[in-house]
Structure 1
Amino acid sequence: MMVRCTAALFLLALSILSVADGRHDFLKLPSEGRRLFGSSPVGAYDDSAGTKWAVLVAGSNGYENYRHQADVCHAYQILKRGGLKDENIIVFMYDDIANNVENPRPGVIINSPHGEDVYKGVPKDYVGEDVTAHNFFAVLLGNKTALKGGSGKVVDSGPNDHIFIYYADHGAAGLLGMPTSREIYADELINVLKKKHASGTYKSLVFYVEACESGSMFEGLLPEGLNIYATTASNSEESSYAIYCPGYDPSPPPAYDTCLGDTYSVSWMEDSDSHNLQTETLKQQYQLVKNRTASQDPDLSSHVMQYGDLKLSAETLSVYMGTHPNKDNHTIVYDNSPRPSSGVINQRDADVLHFWHKFRGAPQGSAKKFEAQKQLAVAMAQRTHVDSSIQLIGKLIFGTDKGPQVLNSVRPAGQALVDDWDCLKSMVRTFETHCGSLSQYGMRHMRSIANICNAGVKKEQMGEASAQACATSLPFLGALSTAGS
């Protein structure tokens, strides 16, 4: 009942907020033993052999994205408690949340309603403008000379070492976001992973990804034989979900107007907090996380996926995360595992939810209330702009009837998003030249842009259609974003 009432109030309030230029356009929220699996796999590992490395990446910034840095900080605490050394844990996060003016507990970050501070002690290896795809790739490859800023720490691994990578942020088909620089494209990530494997500088690598459409980073791209096992929060065509959000159950403490975590992420981390990592396997955790991330409502859940060398899933979590002495006697009890939660929200709507609660909680007539109203108006106008622009571009290129069909098509499972990745990057640049940034929300149209490439459309056609589609809407959006500043 609480969720329904909150949602109803949310929509009602949005319907009476007008955009800042006074035209009274109404805003609307878019719908939107160790081995438990028989014989050991080839290359089975001894926990005592090799060094454990970890790379943790929060790919967003802004208080509305609080949850991503909270996720990464929590992951650090698990690894630190498991015995990994700071010299072997490399953290990427913008670091604008803990001491943000909106944070009700300055210097503290929590990842669940009653959680402890997960920010304490987290290394600040790559923060602010140093959180880039370029640095992430350099760190993973152990290439110190390629780094631009940051602590200089890299994965200086050897052939017997194990690497754990965890990424949390917004994503899209074939794309993972970064806070200020260019995004991480799937083909580039796979090429870096192949290069890392060719260097012979690890024994096994596990990659956890929290992002919308995150399965597309590996679908049809990650081959077997690299000793890489990956799991993702969602398949290649669906959103992932935020949890512990204001107005939802379970909700954060009253002072928080932003989501504290992401469903897939808190699922694997809360599982790691409570179970014996020396006996629980990657496969068992995958199943537990998959069950918790699912929901009775298909519109409020994503499908957790796995890719790569699935034989590695028979390994225990301790190979990558270490182990906590206090949990060594714990056993996995499926019946006692956390159940699916309905109190979740689409990742792409979490920022709007934050702006709304910020507006609702601010004193009448205050600067904070005006700021929140402007943030909400700009966010909603930007959504309308990018949605309508992509739709119009499709119709201009393919025709009124065929356009939606081409843009919305999904390739068969096991097939990569696009045939020509250079075309996709070029088309994105072309769109953004004429229509402005796709933004975190607009990345949802990456599949449509990929389909334009797959249909053989030339860059010049895309440029002409983009220029025509955005000739009037982009100037209005620019005026709105600067109004009152």
Structure 2
Amino acid sequence: MVDYLTCKMTSSSSSVYGYATLLFLAFLSSITQSQKLINTTSTAGGKQWAILVAGSNGYENYRHQADVCHAYQILRKGGLRDENIIVFMYDDIAFNVDNPRPGIIINKPFGHDVYAGVPKDYTGENCTVDNLFAVLLGNKSALTGGSGKVVGSGPNDNIFIYYADHGAAGLVGMPTGNDLYAKDLIEVFKKKHEAKSYKSMVFYLEACEAGSMFEGLLPSNWSIYAVTAANAEESSYGIYCPGDYPTPPQNFLLAWEIDLHDMSQETLQQQYEVVRRRTGFDYEDRSHVMQYGNMELIKDLLSVYMGTNPANDNYTVNIGIEAYPSMIPRAFDQRDATLLYFWHRYSKAPDGSDKKAEAHKDLLRLHSHIRHVDRSINHIAAILFGDENAANLMKFVRPSGQPLVDDWDCLKGLVKAYEKQCGALSWYGKKYTRVIANMCNGGIEVEQMTVASTKACLRNNSTSASDDDGTICIWGLDPNQGDREEWNESSIDITSSKEAKKHANP
């Protein structure tokens, strides 16, 4: 799916890079203006619950917390009480030193503050996978810190979950502690299903390779319907990036017109089709919005989960799929988008300033990490499988419908073995979790991974200082100056990713 990286210009000297997700826009705008929605539309005496999760921290990930804050504001206006909305966010954005508007978070260009009033349920060190699972299961005794709020749902209640984060094959991140692995999420769903503690659940997941969290895993008989921003093997793409050219067109506002839809007549399936078209589903450089789980739920009206606004009765909008691609500027791979943030932070800092020097160090540190991970994973694959088989291992994707890996404990074990010897994979290195899963499926055990990782990372550390050519590959960082820009001060080249693929061989 296209992750909208909307630029928040706040002054001539500084800017905030906020992010709004088109998938989430479809949900949010579907419930915008529904002032009575949640408590007045619950069915059979049930309640509406919502869990909102920003799975990252750091100012470069502004978009995730901005979207979660926006979600809260929409749900609150819709009538959901605070005790039924549970928010997970690290809460390091609003008062971050880089925020030119302290205490304010926005999620669209020139937007209003969406931070005010957001509950601080699980923030900082309490924003963990374990707490998330405890909240979903309604298990207060398993909580460690936080507000103590949990989903106290019953058999007539509906649950909505929105999760925004960096993703990778088989997992999404959390800002503190362990990542959220697909198999663990499914196990929690299973417990929830067996406890008969919900009527239906809708899960919107915005992350790279988000489909791998449900592919071959989520049963069709649990009354759980999931929509993901990307399929199981592709990145989520971003547009309207900082410094992009041309600036967002006026018809960007069309993404918000879905709030006029008649939700008493529109189904979840119809909403999916709208989102699918708006993200350019049939175009190669776009991610693909996907559906998983109980497909019977796609027949449900939006009002079952989100209420309806009578003022929009009988409203329809018809825009053919051929119109959407012309509305969408070029897209950026999400891992490039993170680098883009740091590049702009460096390029906009005053020459000769401490801020410039600090930003330069951060960029070089990122560059070093990227090269280290690329080289070490390739070397490990060669040690374990040989050069020719390693090449196949790096590219192999299981057929659609199969889960990422047969033994999820093996995947966790191999990741831990790598990180113990080579350091954290981080947001970038997690692009290789599919490769590590392939190692598991190929019979590699933790002891073998430990030996290979030790060899690879000892070699990598001994050679990186001598043969680093200082090249960072990012797709089209500055459209105003072409695909390649040389930084004289830092001796770092910015190269389009298409060109980089021709010469990059970690």
- Give the TM bin, normalised by the shorter chain: 0.7 to 0.9
Aligned ranges for residues 25-174 of structure 1 at < 5 Å?
Answer: 47=43, 49-174=45-170
Q: Secondary structure at the match of 2:235?
A: coil
Work out whether residues 84 and 321 of structure 1, in 8 Å CA contact, stay in contact via their aligned partners in 2. Answer: no
Choose from 273, 277, 281 the match for 2:267: 281
In 1, Cα distance between the equivalents of 2:409 and 2:282? 40
Choose from 285, 288, 291 the match for 1:306: 291
Aligned ranges for residues 321-400 of structure 1 at < 5 Å?
Answer: 321-324=306-309, 327-329=311-313, 331-335=315-319, 339-340=324-325, 341-400=328-387
Choose from 207, 217, 234 the match for 1:238: 234
In 1, Cα distance between the equivalents of 2:289 and 2:281? 12
In 2, Cα distance between the equivalents of 1:103 and 1:274? 33
- Would the alpha carbon gap of residues 153 and 336 (structure 1) be closer, same or farther in structure 2, given more than 3 Å must change? farther
Q: Secondary structure at the match of 1:401?
A: helix
Once the two structures are TM-superposed, the CA of residue 291 in structure 1 deviates from its matched residue by 1.1
Q: Which residue of 2 aligns with 1:32?
A: none
Work out whether residues 67 and 107 of structure 2, in 8 Å CA contact, stay in contact via their aligned partners in 1. Answer: yes
Q: Secondary structure at the match of 2:90?
A: coil
Can you list the C-alpha shifts for 1:340-359, whole angstroms capped at 9, x where unaligned?
41243211112210111111
Work out whether residues 159 and 203 of structure 1, in 8 Å CA contact, stay in contact via their aligned partners in 2. Answer: yes
- Would the alpha carbon gap of residues 271 and 201 (structure 1) be closer, same or farther in structure 2, given more than 3 Å must change? farther
In 2, Cα distance between the equivalents of 1:158 and 1:87? 15
Q: Secondary structure at the match of 1:205?
A: strand
Once the two structures are TM-superposed, the CA of residue 78 in structure 1 deviates from its matched residue by 2.0
Q: Secondary structure at the match of 2:135?
A: helix
Once the two structures are TM-superposed, the CA of residue 336 in structure 1 deviates from its matched residue by 8.4
Percentage of identical aligned residues? 58
1:284 alignment partner AA: Q
1:374 alignment partner AA: K
Unaligned 5+ residue runs, structure 2?
1-40, 469-506
Work out whether residues 44 and 156 of structure 2, in 8 Å CA contact, stay in contact via their aligned partners in 1. Answer: no
Aligned ranges for residues 258-269 of structure 1 at < 5 Å?
Answer: none
Q: Which residue of 1 aligns with 2:415?
A: 428
- Would the alpha carbon gap of residues 188 and 251 (structure 1) be closer, same or farther in structure 2, given more than 3 Å must change? farther
Choose from 210, 219, 226 the match for 2:222: 226
Once the two structures are TM-superposed, the CA of residue 431 in structure 1 deviates from its matched residue by 0.3
Work out whether residues 57 and 72 of structure 1, in 8 Å CA contact, stay in contact via their aligned partners in 2. Answer: yes
Q: Which residue of 2 aligns with 1:294?
A: 280
- Would the alpha carbon gap of residues 277 and 49 (structure 1) be closer, same or farther in structure 2, given more than 3 Å must change? farther
Work out whether residues 141 and 196 of structure 1, in 8 Å CA contact, stay in contact via their aligned partners in 2. Answer: yes
Q: Secondary structure at the match of 2:387?
A: coil
TM normalised by structure 1 equals 0.82
Deviates more, 1:274-283 or 1:210-219: 274-283
Once the two structures are TM-superposed, the CA of residue 57 in structure 1 deviates from its matched residue by 0.2
Can you list the C-alpha shifts for 1:140-174, whole angstroms capped at 9, x where unaligned?
00000000111000000011000000100001110
Work out whether residues 177 and 183 of structure 1, in 8 Å CA contact, stay in contact via their aligned partners in 2. Answer: yes
In 1, Cα distance between the equivalents of 2:375 and 2:283? 28
Q: Which residue of 1 aligns with 2:30?
A: none
Work out whether residues 406 and 448 of structure 1, in 8 Å CA contact, stay in contact via their aligned partners in 2. Answer: yes
Work out whether residues 260 and 312 of structure 2, in 8 Å CA contact, stay in contact via their aligned partners in 1. Answer: no
Deviates more, 1:59-68 or 1:77-86: 77-86
Q: Secondary structure at the match of 1:54?
A: strand
Q: Which residue of 1 aligns with 2:445?
A: 458
Once the two structures are TM-superposed, the CA of residue 382 in structure 1 deviates from its matched residue by 0.7
Once the two structures are TM-superposed, the CA of residue 449 in structure 1 deviates from its matched residue by 0.1
Choose from 188, 194, 207 the match for 1:211: 207
In 2, Cα distance between the equivalents of 1:48 and 1:324? 20
Corresponding residue pairs, total: 421
2:261 alignment partner AA: H
Work out whether residues 230 and 287 of structure 2, in 8 Å CA contact, stay in contact via their aligned partners in 1. Answer: yes
Q: Secondary structure at the match of 1:307?
A: strand
Can you list the C-alpha shifts for 1:256-313, whole angstroms capped at 9, x where unaligned?
xxxxxxx9xx99x8465443433332111111111112267522x1000000011111
In 2, Cα distance between the equivalents of 1:356 and 1:228? 41
Work out whether residues 96 and 102 of structure 2, in 8 Å CA contact, stay in contact via their aligned partners in 1. Answer: yes
In 1, Cα distance between the equivalents of 2:463 and 2:263? 54
Can you list the C-alpha shifts for 1:26-75, whole angstroms capped at 9, x where unaligned?
xxxxxxxxxxxxxxxxxxx9746410000000000000000011111112
Q: Secondary structure at the match of 2:458?
A: coil
TM normalised by structure 2 equals 0.79
2:158 alignment partner AA: H
Work out whether residues 249 and 343 of structure 1, in 8 Å CA contact, stay in contact via their aligned partners in 2. Answer: no
Can you list the C-alpha shifts for 1:438-484, whole angstroms capped at 9, x where unaligned?
00011000000000000001222111111011004358889x9xxxx
In 1, Cα distance between the equivalents of 2:402 and 2:47? 35
Work out whether residues 93 and 127 of structure 1, in 8 Å CA contact, stay in contact via their aligned partners in 2. Answer: yes
In 2, Cα distance between the equivalents of 1:137 and 1:107? 29
Q: Secondary structure at the match of 1:426?
A: helix
In 2, Cα distance between the equivalents of 1:155 and 1:429? 31
In 2, Cα distance between the equivalents of 1:376 and 1:428? 25
Work out whether residues 176 and 184 of structure 1, in 8 Å CA contact, stay in contact via their aligned partners in 2. Answer: yes
- Would the alpha carbon gap of residues 250 and 128 (structure 1) be closer, same or farther in structure 2, given more than 3 Å must change? farther
Unaligned 5+ residue runs, structure 1?
1-44, 253-262, 481-485
For the aligned residues, what is the CA RMSD?
2.5
- Would the alpha carbon gap of residues 429 and 415 (structure 1) be closer, same or farther in structure 2, given more than 3 Å must change? same
Can you list the C-alpha shifts for 1:104-152, whole angstroms capped at 9, x where unaligned?
2222111111322221221111111111000000000000000011100
Work out whether residues 230 and 308 of structure 1, in 8 Å CA contact, stay in contact via their aligned partners in 2. Answer: yes
In 1, Cα distance between the equivalents of 2:100 and 2:240? 16
